């Protein structure tokens, strides 16, 4: 009950300042464009983007659903693989010596550049290739941050557990995993926007025709820049929505962390 | 559980026996350190023993040997007549460190219940015991607070309550009051002595402070460094402590005796 209430309060306090900022930015954007009057394709004023959203409402809702599904599934899979790697690497020295270099090597590959190759693997119209890009991109920051949180525990807390005769797995559960939670959520918040970017850019190269990335490229190709901007706006909303969801999850999962921070 | 029930109930068995123990860290490597050499020490049941000595003389190492968190290079350590490792798995002892080391993600009561959870106690019994322990350290109204909301001294009292929650026979404390201010420290010393006299637990207590050692203990082990050895064992029989003990001539005599032993002249 109180956790839900504090989550609601968090939602409010994380929505209010950006809303104020958004209104200020959109207002000055509109005014500046009205004064300078550049060509339409450079940057349309917010009111024109809004009417483009209204005109293409159905297509945009479909695109958000299609791309949102890719982002969410890719994010979930990437987070799961990242956390699993982090646990393995922390628990087993052999895993650390094999998986860590592998992960670093995979991360060094410019993953977006793989999108056309993934299309060849999974088929140009399949969303699988887009999901694959999201998974690979999300996995690394989650893995690295979570692994750091699992490792960076206070040595005396580990000694304390050992003095109670606790084994490695008990120490993992009671000390390492709770200690890694703030690190994990930092990575998750970062991963939400990464996942949206990864999905849309991957869609530039292939995947379903009704997704956000395709909507942007086809609209721009037809010089319908207002429609392209409307789709970009939809992508931002998707990113913001996921970020807020991650913040709410963070509050629900570790209320203790926010008490601790308030008083120290 | 134990294979030696006859020693478990035998009150005459020493709480701790350290026989000809030495400890070398990183043997044979460039960073080899001889931390302890030729340590012989017997600690009786119900004793309050302090270990005192300059930084690096091996006090923490000795405590961790007793706790079987590290192994001796030579010699033997027994706790209640058992090998130190057996005693650890039997939960014969409990530790308190300089930093309280409470878990931020557990409230005060659940911190105290941690060892009980590890031992498989039922939830209702855990609740009852943590309430008792909170009463013992006079923090009952903070059961549902989180550690970060408590002062350093209060956190250390929670750590003591946690350490004593499962009735260990032996309490190992490594500079538990080292990070506290002088006032809080004296208060905590009084509290610890009250708990000790109520429970008659055996205590091994590491400190840098001569007055603290003399005020608290029945026996003071003075150590010297490089390599860590026992320089002197001083019996410190001041009787029951009170507010006036710190002004007692016998108190100052023993403070001087410890100071001289630390300097190396007997
Ligand atoms: N894990 C370790 N690895 C290597 N050397 C160690 C280790 N632990 C302790 N030592 C060394 O052993 C010696 C004794 O250390 P110890 O921590 O027991 O001293 P101490 O008496 O507790 O000192 P202090 O009063 O500063 O806490 C020191 O020289 C230290 O460098
Ligand atoms: Mg020490």
| Secondary structure (3-state) at B221 | strand
Looking at chain A, how many residues does it have? Answer: 264
- The verdict on A166 touching B (C-beta cutoff 8 Å) is yes
Distances (CA, A) of B24 to B32, B34, B35, B80, B211: 7, 4, 6, 25, 31
d(CA A135, CA B162): 43
Which of B94, B95, B101 lies closest to A154 in CB terms?
B101
H helix intervals, chain A: 2-36, 46-55, 57-91, 93-108, 115-122, 128-151, 155-163, 168-171, 177-205, 212-221, 225-253, 255-263
d(CA A49, CA A38): 15
In the structure encoding, which two tokens stand for residue B165, read together? 């929650």
Residue B69 CB less than 6 A away from ligand 1: no
d(CA B95, CA B117): 17
Pair B94, B171: CB distance under 8 Å: yes
pLDDT at B6 > cutoff 80: no
What digits encode the pLDDT tens for the residues A186-237? 999 999 999 999 999 988 888 788 888 888 888 888 888 888 888 888 899 9
Which residues touch B10 (CB under 8 Å, ≥6 apart)? B81
What is the average pLDDT across B217-229? 90
CATH topology of domain A45-263: MetI-like fold (1.10.3720)
pLDDT at B29 > cutoff 80: yes
Secondary structure string (H, E, C) spanning A193-246: HHHHHHHHHHHHHCCCCCCHHHHHHHHHHCCCHHHHHHHHHHHHHHHHHHHHHH
**Separation in Å, CA of A86 to nearest CA in chain B:** 21
Write down the pLDDT at residue A41: 59
d(CA A133, CA A118): 8
Query: Which residues in A lie closer than 8 A to residue B118 (C-beta atoms)?
Result: 161, 164-166, 170
- Grade residue B115 by pLDDT with cuts at 50, 70 and 90: very high
- The verdict on A2 touching B (C-beta cutoff 8 Å) is no
What is the Cα gyration radius of chain A?
22
Distances (CA, A) of B22 to A35, B18, B81: 84, 10, 20
The helix (H) or strand (E) run that includes residue B154 is helix B152-164
pLDDT at B15 > cutoff 50: yes
Minimal-distance CA residue of chain A relative to B110: A174
Size of interface A-B (CB pairs under 8 A): 61
Instruction: State the Cα angle at A47 between A43 and A50, rounded to 5°.
Output: 95
pLDDT at B3 > cutoff 70: no
Residue with tokens 């609740």: B127
Percentage of chain A lying above the pLDDT 70 cut:
95
Which residues touch B200 (CB under 8 Å, ≥6 apart)? B46
Burial class (CB in 10 A: 0-12, 13-18, 19+), A20: exposed
d(CA A87, CA A172): 9
d(CA A200, CA A217): 10
Neighbouring C-beta atoms of residue A246, cutoff 10 Å: 20
| Secondary structure (3-state) at B224 | strand
Minimal-distance CA residue of chain B relative to A182: B105
What digits encode the pLDDT tens for the residues A74-86? 999 999 999 999 9
Domain range list for chain A: 1-37, 45-263
Ligand 2 mean position, distance from CA B60 (Å): 4
Write down the pLDDT at residue B258: 87
d(CA A101, CA A139): 14
What digits encode the pLDDT tens for the residues B57-80? 999 999 999 999 898 888 889 998
What does pTM read for this prediction? Answer: 0.82
- Grade residue B250 by pLDDT with cuts at 50, 70 and 90: confident
Residue A74: alpha-carbon gap to chain centroid: 10
Instruction: Give me the interface pTM, i.e. the ipTM.
Output: 0.82
**CA neighbor of B258 nearest in space, from B223, B210, B219:** B210
d(CA B206, CA B175): 5
In order of start, what are the domains of chain B with their CATH numbers? 7-92+168-263 (3.40.50.300), 102-166 (no CATH)
What is the average pLDDT across B4-9? 46
Which of A2, A152, A160, A182 to mutate to test binding with chain B, by most B CBs within 10 Å of its CB? A160
Average pLDDT along chain B: 87
């Amino acid at each position: 009950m109180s956790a839900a209430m504090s989550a609601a309060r968090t939602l409010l306090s994380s929505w209010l300042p950006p809303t104020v900022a958004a209104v200020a930015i959109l207002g000055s954007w509109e005014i500046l464009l009205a004064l300078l009057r550049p060509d339409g394709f450079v940057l349309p004023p917010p009111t024109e983007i809004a009417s483009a959203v209204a005109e293409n409402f159905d297509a945009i809702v479909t695109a958000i659903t299609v791309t949102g599904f890719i982002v969410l599934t890719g994010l979930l899979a990437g987070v799961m693989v990242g956390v699993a790697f982090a646990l393995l690497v922390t628990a087993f020295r052999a895993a650390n010596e094999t998986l860590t270099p592998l992960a670093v090597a995979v991360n060094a590959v410019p993953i977006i550049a793989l999108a056309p190759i993934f299309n060849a693997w999974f088929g140009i119209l399949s969303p699988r290739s887009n999901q694959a890009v999201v998974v690979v991109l999300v996995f690394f920051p989650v893995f690295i941050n979570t692994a750091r949180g699992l490792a960076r525990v206070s040595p005396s807390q580990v000694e304390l557990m050992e003095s109670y005769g606790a084994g490695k797995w008990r120490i993992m559960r009671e000390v390492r995993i709770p200690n890694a939670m703030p690190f994990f959520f930092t990575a998750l918040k970062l991963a939400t926007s990464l996942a949206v970017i990864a999905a849309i850019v991957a869609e530039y190269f292939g995947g379903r025709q009704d997704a956000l990335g395709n909507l942007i490229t086809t609209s721009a190709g037809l010089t319908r820049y207002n429609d392209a901007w409307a789709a970009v706006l939809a992508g931002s909303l998707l990113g913001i929505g996921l970020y807020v969801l991650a913040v709410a999850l963070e509050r629900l999962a570790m209320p203790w962390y926010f008490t601790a921070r308030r008083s120290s | 559980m134990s294979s030696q029930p006859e020693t478990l109930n035998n009150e005459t068995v020493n709480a701790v026996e350290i026989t000809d123990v030495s400890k070398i860290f990183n043997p044979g490597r460039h960073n080899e350190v001889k931390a302890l050499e030729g340590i012989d020490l017997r600690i009786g049941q119900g004793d309050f023993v302090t270990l005192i000595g300059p930084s690096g003389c091996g006090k923490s190492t000795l405590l961790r040997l007793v706790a079987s968190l590290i192994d001796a290079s030579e010699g033997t350590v027994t706790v209640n007549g058992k090998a130190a490792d057996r005693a650890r798995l039997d939960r014969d002892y409990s530790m308190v460190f300089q930093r309280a080391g409470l878990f931020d993600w557990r409230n005060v009561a659940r911190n105290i219940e941690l060892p009980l959870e590890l031992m498989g106690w039922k939830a209702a019994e855990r609740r009852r015991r943590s309430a008792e322990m909170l009463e013992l350290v006079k923090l009952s109204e903070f059961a549902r607070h989180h550690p970060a909301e408590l002062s350093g001294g209060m956190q250390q009292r929670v750590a003591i309550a946690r350490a004593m929650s499962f009735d260990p026979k032996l309490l190992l404390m490594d500079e538990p009051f080292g990070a506290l201010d002088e006032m809080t420290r004296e208060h905590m010393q009084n509290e610890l002595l009250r708990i000790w006299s109520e429970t008659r637990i055996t205590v091994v207590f590491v400190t840098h402070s001569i007055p603290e050692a003399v005020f608290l203990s029945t026996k003071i082990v003075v150590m010297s460094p490089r390599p860590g050895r026992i320089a002197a064992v001083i019996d410190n029989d001041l009787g029951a402590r009170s507010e006036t003990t710190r002004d007692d001539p016998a108190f100052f005599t023993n403070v001087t005796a410890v100071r001289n032993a630390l300097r190396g002249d007997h």
